[in-house]
Amino acid sequence: MSLRALLLPLLLVASALAVPSVSAAPLVRPVTSLNSAWKFLRSDATGAQAPGFDDSAWSSVTVPHTWNAQDGQDGGNNYYRGVGWYRRHVTPSASLAGKRLWLQFDGVNTVADVWVNGTKLGTHQGGYATFRFDATATLKLGQDNVVAVRVTNAANPDVPPLSADFTFFGGIYRDVTLVAVDPLSVRMGDFGGPGVYLTERSVSADSASVDVTTKAWNNYPDTRQAQVRATVTDASGAVVTTTTAATRSVAAATGFDTVQNVLITEPRRWQGKADPYLYHVTVEILDAGRVTDSVTQPLGLRSATVDAASGFSLNGQHLGLHGVNAHQDRLNEGSAVSPAQRVQDFDLMDEMGVNALRTAHYQQAQVVYDLADQRGYAVWVEIPLVNRVTDSAAFRANAQQQLSELIRQNYNHPSIFFWGIGNEQANDDPVTNALLTQLNSQVHAEDPTRLSTYANNKGDTVGLANHTDVIGYNKYFGWYSSGTGPGSWADALHAKDPARKIGISEYGAGGSVNQHQEPPRQPVTTSTFHPEEYQNLLHENSWKQIAARPYLWGTFVWNMFDFASDGRAEGDTPGRNDKGLVTYDRGTRKDAFYWYKANWTDTS
């Protein structure tokens, strides 16, 4: 067995855990965490990008960090929306000589300007995606450097979301890393994506055909003899198949793409919660035989369809989706939620019998999708195109950018089945519909295998409801409108338009664990009284009607967890949307949680 084959499982484990390896052999792609030792000021500061700027009076913070975790969750819609500055020193190791150095931010809300040693690297607009800047020319190895980041979460007419029913927490709220790559490497600038994209051409019990697309580049000043090697390993780390593309001569400063088809016979398929089996694909770049870069991605072999009469099928078998929506925030953390807290969220969803998740209304941390892969969830992800759009070229360009980032960064997660292009647009007008038409085509151009979707709160005749492959409706029968549930509405729509692939993207009611009423009856929705018993009754009625209608391809409770919406003053918690089945601190499961648990943990 070659040394590489022996080491591959270790490398896979290291990359799966996303921690810098401590092995003696140098990794081809060293990653250094820059989460510690930041100075922070919650206001604007003229000249703070200059290396010598005096930040001694600023507070000391580590990232992930949210600057309005407190004032964004107490009501009054008066939380801080403005500028904050972050600065830190960094001394990259001299051992990185010859590498290209990328500063990577996994999430900054909403607009970030980044400088190194007073030189501006760039601006990123959009609060939910990973982005990277090339800092090779500005970072000095073995010496002190200053990274400065100006962040603003102020309202911006050109960056969605413009308005929404959730708090726009500000700050550098996910990890920051320094990634060092060889000049001959997988491309780093591809909308923050991994540069390796796995497209499942066909998957059956007999075989799976997967295209491995690698976007690479040669940043050396001379021509290189490049090879791309793709290796599929199973869950034990054993090599299933490996293929090396023909050597190609790549000129200096040139990108090159390689597509390699791999066949896996008698695959163990990714079967949702029944068996979320994962292979991995490792792509290595070689320069005249020397491995210069290595990227490992998860591979779950599965196929899915949605039928207007019979709903969602996974690998040819009908699968009833027990879905919930979830935001990313949590009491006292704002959006800066740790991986351990994400695991707790999945433990709660597992306990309740959830098997489908809509990550409303934006891209969430990679760990969320990793956990969904590993635990077998079917996921709907979306861009934050909520409520309304601006009629500007800049707004449209930013929505398109956020969609490319969403799709490329998450392309290889087998748990993802649906790309969402928007939520509850208020205006069924030419400007909004033209943008949705464009975004829908963009989904199919970016990804030939998955379905597009949209969450609609208007009728089926509006243009808004007619762009995507499948559709979800936000329906609040018994809450924002009268009725006991969606049954008769769904039957009427299904009878009128049998080809429409109907889902329910949201349904639910407010529920306070401190407010009670027997027998439960429909309360006034905007009141301060949200009895827990009524929330339970609404879910019981709604789910019974949903369960009797298998043509509904998927339905999603609004919401798994209470979340911050600083503009709300309802129930007994100002600043909170209390439609969760679990409280904002994750401390209390509400009555409706137990009702679903009793009904969903039998998955027959």
2 class by beta-carbon count within 10 Å (0-12 exposed, 13-18 middle, 19+ buried): exposed
Smallest distance from the beta carbon of 510 to ligand GCB, in angstroms? 8
Ordered DSSP codes for 392-422: SHHHHHHHHHHHHHHHHHHTT-TTEEEEEEE
Q: Looking at residues 432 to 471 of the shown chain, list those that interact with ligand GCB (rule: CB under 6 A).
A: 457
Which pair of structure tokens corresponds to residue 390? 């601006």
Q: Looking at residues 73 to 92 of the shown chain, list those that interact with ligand GCB (rule: CB under 6 A).
A: none
Strand partners, 178: 32, 103
Residue 432 three-state SS? helix
Distance, in Å, from the CA atom of 116 to the CA atom of 92, rounded to the nearest integer, reads: 13
Smallest distance from the beta carbon of 339 to ligand GCB, in angstroms? 25
- Is 446 among the catalytic positions? no
Smallest distance from the beta carbon of 562 to ligand GCB, in angstroms? 11
# binding residues, ligand GCB (CB under 6 A): 10
Question: Which of 195, 182, 215, 198 lies closest to 286, judged by CA?
Answer: 182
Q: Are 279 and 470 in contact (CB under 8 A)?
A: no
Whether omega before 89 lies within 30 degrees of 0, making that bond cis, reads no
Q: End-to-end distance of the chain based on CA atoms, in angstroms?
A: 45
Closer CB to ligand GCB, 230 or 557, in the complex: 557
Question: Which of 329, 327, 338, 359 lies closest to 73, judged by CA?
Answer: 329
Residue 180 three-state SS? strand
Among the listed residues 125, 577, 582, 595, the single contact to ligand GCB using CB under 6 A:
577
Where do we find the tokens 């079967």?
Answer: 271
Closer CB to ligand GCB, 158 or 165, in the complex: 165
Q: By beta-carbon distance, which residue lies closest to ligand GCB?
A: 165
Which pair of structure tokens corresponds to residue 332? 């006292």
Closer CB to ligand GCB, 32 or 525, in the complex: 525
**Interacting residues of 420 by C-beta distance below 8 A, sequence separation 6+:** 358, 380, 381, 382, 383, 452, 453, 454, 455
Where do we find the tokens 């209608």?
Answer: 549
Among the listed residues 134, 158, 165, 350, the single contact to ligand GCB using CB under 6 A:
165
Smallest distance from the beta carbon of 567 to ligand GCB, in angstroms? 11
Smallest distance from the beta carbon of 402 to ligand GCB, in angstroms? 17
Residue 589 three-state SS? strand
Among the listed residues 187, 302, 579, 590, the single contact to ligand GCB using CB under 6 A:
579
Closer CB to ligand GCB, 175 or 424, in the complex: 424
Closer CB to ligand GCB, 294 or 577, in the complex: 577
Ordered DSSP codes for 248-313: EEE-TTEEEEEEEEEEEES---B-GGG-B--EEEEEEEEETTEEEEEEEEEE----EEEETTTEEE
Q: Looking at residues 205 to 244 of the shown chain, list those that interact with ligand GCB (rule: CB under 6 A).
A: none
Residue 359 near ligand GCB by CB under 6 A: no
Q: Looking at residues 405 to 434 of the shown chain, list those that interact with ligand GCB (rule: CB under 6 A).
A: 423-424
Smallest distance from the beta carbon of 414 to ligand GCB, in angstroms? 27
Question: Letter for the amino acid at 591?
Answer: D
Closer CB to ligand GCB, 393 or 524, in the complex: 524
Residue 345 three-state SS? helix
Among the listed residues 315, 402, 474, 555, the single contact to ligand GCB using CB under 6 A:
474
Q: Are 325 and 317 in contact (CB under 8 A)?
A: no
Q: Are 389 and 395 in contact (CB under 8 A)?
A: yes
Closer CB to ligand GCB, 286 or 581, in the complex: 581
Distance, in Å, from the CA atom of 255 to the CA atom of 188, rounded to the nearest integer, reads: 11
Smallest distance from the beta carbon of 253 to ligand GCB, in angstroms? 45
Maximal CA-CA distance, the chain? 79
Q: Looking at residues 485 to 504 of the shown chain, list those that interact with ligand GCB (rule: CB under 6 A).
A: none
Closer CB to ligand GCB, 38 or 166, in the complex: 166
Binding mask 508-547 vs ligand GCB (x if CB under 6 A, - otherwise)? ----------------------------------------
Q: Choose the catalytic residue: 200, 424, 506, 540.
A: 424
Smallest distance from the beta carbon of 561 to ligand GCB, in angstroms? 12
Question: Which of 496, 447, 543, 485 lies closest to 308, judged by CA?
Answer: 496
Closer CB to ligand GCB, 53 or 558, in the complex: 558
Closer CB to ligand GCB, 196 or 513, in the complex: 513
Please provide residue 557's backbone torsions phi and psi, each rounded to the nearest 5 degrees: -60, 135
Smallest distance from the beta carbon of 579 to ligand GCB, in angstroms? 5
Among the listed residues 175, 506, 540, 591, the single contact to ligand GCB using CB under 6 A:
506
Residue 558 near ligand GCB by CB under 6 A: yes
Smallest distance from the beta carbon of 101 to ligand GCB, in angstroms? 39
Distance, in Å, from the CA atom of 151 to the CA atom of 507, rounded to the nearest integer, reads: 35
Q: Looking at residues 380 to 399 of the shown chain, list those that interact with ligand GCB (rule: CB under 6 A).
A: none
Footprint of ligand GCB on this chain (CB under 6 A)? Answer: 164-165, 423-424, 457, 474, 506, 558, 577, 579
Q: Which residue numbers are catalytic? A: 424
